[in-house]
Amino acid sequence: MVYSPKEQGLGFLLVSRSLHPFRFLLRLILWILIRTMYRIKILGKENIPRKGPALLICNHITYVDPFIVGSCMLKRVIRYMMFREYFEIRSIRWFLNLMKVIPISEKDNPKAKIRSFIKAEEELKNGHVVCIFPEGTITRTGNILPFKKGFERIVKNIDVPIIPVHVDMLWGSIFSYKGGKFFWKIPKRFRYPVTVSFGKPLPSQTTSEEVRNAVIDLSSEAFVHRKKDLSLLHIEFLKRAKRHLFRFCMLDSTGKELSYGKVLIASLLLSRLIKKRYCINERMVGVILPSTIGGALANIGILMANKLPVNLNFTALRESVSSAISLCEIKTIITSKVFIEKAKIERQDGMIYLEDILKEIRPIEKIVTTIAVFLVPAFAIKRLYIRPKDTIDDLSTVIFSSGSTGEPKGIMLSHFNILSNILGFNQIFQLTKGDRVMGILPFFHSFGFTGTLWFPILSGFGAIYHPNPLDSKTIGELIERHKATILISTPTFYQGYIRKCTRGQFASLRYAIVGAEKLKMPLAKEFKEKFGIELLEGYGCTECSPVVSVNVPDYKDATHVQIGRKLGTIGLPIPGVSLKIVDPDTFKKLPNGEEGLLLVKGPNIMMGYLNQPEKTKEVIRDGWYCTGDIAFIHNDGFVEIKDRLSRFSKIAGEMVPHIYIEDAIHNVLNTSEPRCVVTSVYSEKKGERLVVLYTDIEMEIEDILERMKGMEIPNLWIPKKDSFIKIDTIPLLGSGKLDLKKIKMIAQENV
């Protein structure tokens, strides 16, 4: 339920007339100022009681949060609990007293804290509304911080409803900490849009962790209301490029370098040929190109032609690629003659070469398009060249799953799926126009498509592309030469950087993000020791567009410490994403700290599997996506993945985690390099039997097993000696993830 500004204003004036005249005047002035500066949308207003007490629990993004929340109330005056340091400022203390603010501070002695709690309790007993920001301070990381438990003390002896409140879209405004500073920022727009969500009342016995989860759920629902300010991916790029025509946009290891203006010109020219000559009656266009400028231009150009790019996994088996082509009804595949010859990719029907397409662009077309890009406004270019027919909720691409646990599935992602992911990612990293992403992940990988293609160019900074993520030496040289600041990769690839790159080559990096597989602690320690950079572990899956959560650097100054990174976890969910843990069998929600199946909800959840509605229903229940991963959520909100549900074996009725056994073996070997992988095969006696595939182990199997027995590992979890199988290399997918399907096949063939 949404209330108009007119209704909010009338309610405000009605209550104000019953107040002291001076207080009425102040509230009127504040209301006018807030409504002048912000365009506020209110969700769930029906959850605020029209009379009687209520405790509002709200996230804290800016210094104006209290005024924003206060302007949303109908006929109610809110009593706020405020940080005592600000309350003691003489110039505003008279105003805060007039507004009946209740001061409190962590530095207060126990008696002072109790007096503040008692004062808040009295206000509630008297039928008033009290609002608390339990994070204790404004977020500097962009994430919702852990909630302090003080409000539990306030409602311990009284029965009042707790109303979760979430304020959205204020990150980036002048009163937020985006950019590493408060206030001293140029306002991005007049009447800044804000969404304020009021959740359903919770009982007074609700814990701080449960209330925090409710506020995060509200943030996920509020993200949907950002749509009105967004366009299609390629239209967003058009608007960004028009604002920064001469800014660096992308380069690759071939030596090509393009500005935003040049990328826009090339994409528009390419789109006209795709639309009018090569793919006239086709909806989906295949792309077999590496992470280079050519691959990026092909994806942007296809979208600008109002068609859908489908990046095909050129590292997969031919049968898998053929299946994807058939499922998407692809007739044309854009590739490069140089690339398929170098990669030894077999020629297929429907292939056209990007080099040949670009040769067909006439000089007059280049001149006309260049003039249009530099002189014609964005809305006119959109109308003349693109004429989009889709909406932000329509399909933008199909990305095929890695197939690590079975047959690849076509995952349908909308424009808003990807845009919401980029918005959430942008909120938790302090990025500037000088940042540069080192793009090494292929565009058929969901993080390659979202994280290294659209994320940098829509955020206003550049990308540096190199097609081979295993070419550690060249990657190190590119990072050093072009001052890359962001590197997104997998544990396998980071292992190569440790061996072949120098500390000086990585000196410009600010963020080193790792995902796709669990980060082993020895690898994190080794990387930190060599490069002086903390690896930031994240988590995602293609069905989630792909980012679900990620660690960020801690914030520390003279007075504040905010934890953004917790070793051994996958971090906090990014803004807009909500998580919960359920029992794998009953799907009953479990409290924080209990291990279970991880579910994800948010605007980043896929549209579904292409032409597979039944499989879609299996993994999406009431809007929650079932990840298939076993995890638990710490009380501070950090998430720890234990293993994939598919990477557990049920032996004699007990669930045995493969990754735990792998870690134990690597600890015995004292190595951070992956030397083994654990899988299982059928066993008539116990249901399943553990199998260890290993490469180079300089230790006798008997010694490994003996040391494992001294590590307090249950005997049931220790593999038998004849279950160790030597192989040449551990099977990996093109994305760097374990090829679990092939691993199990090898185990079945050799046991």
Asked if residues 5 and 35 have their Cβ atoms less than 8 Å apart, the reply is: yes
Amino acid at position 318, single letter: R
Name the 3-class secondary structure at 668.
helix
Confidence band for 737, pLDDT divided at 50, 70 and 90 = confident
Rg (CA), the chain: 28
- Mean pLDDT of all residues in 116-130: 88
Confidence check: pLDDT of 5 > 50: no
Residue 306's pLDDT is 95
Tell me the torsion sign for CA atoms 176, 179, 180, 183.
negative
Residue 22's pLDDT is 62
In angstroms, rounded to a whole number, what is the distance separating the alpha carbons of residues 298 and 266? Answer: 10
Residue 725, beta-bridge partner list: 693
Confidence band for 6, pLDDT divided at 50, 70 and 90 = very low
Confidence band for 8, pLDDT divided at 50, 70 and 90 = very low
Contacts of the segment 706-711: beta carbons below 8 A, 24+ positions apart: 707/668, 708/664, 708/665, 708/668, 711/664, 711/667, 711/668
What tokens does 43 get?
């969700």
**In the chain, pLDDT over 70 holds for what percent of residues?**
93
Confidence band for 13, pLDDT divided at 50, 70 and 90 = very low
CATH of segment(s) 233-633: 3.40.50.12780
Residue 374's pLDDT is 95
What tokens does 294 get?
């050519």
Confidence check: pLDDT of 489 > 50: yes
Confidence check: pLDDT of 285 > 70: yes
In angstroms, rounded to a whole number, what is the distance separating the alpha carbons of residues 1 and 45? Answer: 6
- In the chain, which segments carry CATH 3.40.50.12780? 233-633
Which top CATH class is 652-750? alpha beta
Alpha carbon of 277 to those of 270, 289, 390, 397: distances in Å?
A: 11, 20, 21, 21
- Mean pLDDT of all residues in 543-558: 92
Q: Is the peptide bond before 546 cis (omega within 30 degrees of 0)?
A: yes
Residue 172's pLDDT is 80
- Of 90-94, 432-436, 475-479, 655-659, the range with the highest mean pLDDT is 475-479
**In the chain, pLDDT over 90 holds for what percent of residues?**
51
Asked if residues 561 and 538 have their Cβ atoms less than 8 Å apart, the reply is: no
- In the chain, which segments carry CATH 3.40.1130.10? 5-228
Residue 203's pLDDT is 94
Asked if residues 163 and 54 have their Cβ atoms less than 8 Å apart, the reply is: yes
Residue 481's pLDDT is 96
Name the residue among 281, 248, 270, 297 with its Cα closest to residue 485.
248
Q: Is 54 exposed, middle or buried (0-12, 13-18, 19+ CB in 10 A)?
A: buried
Name the residue among 177, 138, 142 with its Cα closest to residue 428.
142
Confidence check: pLDDT of 452 > 60: yes
In angstroms, rounded to a whole number, what is the distance separating the alpha carbons of residues 476 and 92? Answer: 54
**More confidently predicted of 731 and 87:** 731
- In the chain, which segments carry CATH 3.30.300.30? 652-750
Task: Round the average pLDDT of the chain to a whole number and report it.
Answer: 87
Residue 346's pLDDT is 85
**More confidently predicted of 383 and 315:** 383
Confidence band for 467, pLDDT divided at 50, 70 and 90 = very high
Ordered DSSP codes for 3-60: --HHHHHHHHHHHHTTS-HHHHHHHHHHHHHHHHHEEEEEE-GGGS-SSS-EEEEE--
In angstroms, rounded to a whole number, what is the distance separating the alpha carbons of residues 81 and 119? Answer: 10
- Mean pLDDT of all residues in 171-190: 76
Residue 644's pLDDT is 66
Residue 735's pLDDT is 65
What residues contact residue 551 under an 8 Å CB cut-off, 6+ apart? 536, 537, 538, 564, 565, 566, 569, 570, 571, 572
Residues 28-86: tens digit of each pLDDT: 777 778 777 888 899 998 898 888 899 999 999 988 888 888 888 767 788 888 877 77
**More confidently predicted of 454 and 129:** 454
In angstroms, rounded to a whole number, what is the distance separating the alpha carbons of residues 576 and 553? Answer: 19
Confidence check: pLDDT of 9 > 80: no
- Mean pLDDT of all residues in 96-110: 78
In angstroms, rounded to a whole number, what is the distance separating the alpha carbons of residues 411 and 423? Answer: 21
- Mean pLDDT of all residues in 712-720: 83
**More confidently predicted of 489 and 682:** 489
Confidence check: pLDDT of 605 > 80: yes
DSSP for residue 720? P
In angstroms, rounded to a whole number, what is the distance separating the alpha carbons of residues 711 and 114? Answer: 47
Look at strands 676-683 and 687-694 and give their pairing: antiparallel
Confidence band for 662, pLDDT divided at 50, 70 and 90 = confident
- Mean pLDDT of all residues in 640-650: 74
Confidence check: pLDDT of 10 > 50: no
Sheet order of strands, 351-353 included:
308-311, 284-288, 333-335, 351-353
Alpha carbon of 669 to those of 634, 675, 704: distances in Å?
A: 30, 9, 8
What residues contact residue 164 under an 8 Å CB cut-off, 6+ apart? 57, 58, 198, 199, 202, 211, 214, 215, 218
Confidence check: pLDDT of 750 > 50: yes
Confidence check: pLDDT of 15 > 60: no
Q: Is 622 exposed, middle or buried (0-12, 13-18, 19+ CB in 10 A)?
A: exposed
Asked if residues 12 and 29 have their Cβ atoms less than 8 Å apart, the reply is: no
Ordered DSSP codes for 592-645: TT--EEEEEESTTS-SEETT-HHHHHHHEETTEEEEEEEEEE-TTS-EEEEEEG
- Mean pLDDT of all residues in 440-463: 94
Confidence check: pLDDT of 229 > 90: no
In CATH, the architecture of 5-228 is 3-Layer(aba) Sandwich (3.40)
Amino acid at position 502, single letter: T
Asked if residues 342 and 294 have their Cβ atoms less than 8 Å apart, the reply is: no
In angstroms, rounded to a whole number, what is the distance separating the alpha carbons of residues 387 and 377? Answer: 14
Which segments of 247-362 does DSSP mark as H helices, in order?
Answer: 260-273, 293-304, 318-328, 337-342, 354-359
Confidence band for 450, pLDDT divided at 50, 70 and 90 = very high
Confidence band for 454, pLDDT divided at 50, 70 and 90 = very high
Ordered DSSP codes for 415-446: HHHHHHHHHHHHHHS---TT-EEEE-S-TTSH
Residue 406's pLDDT is 53
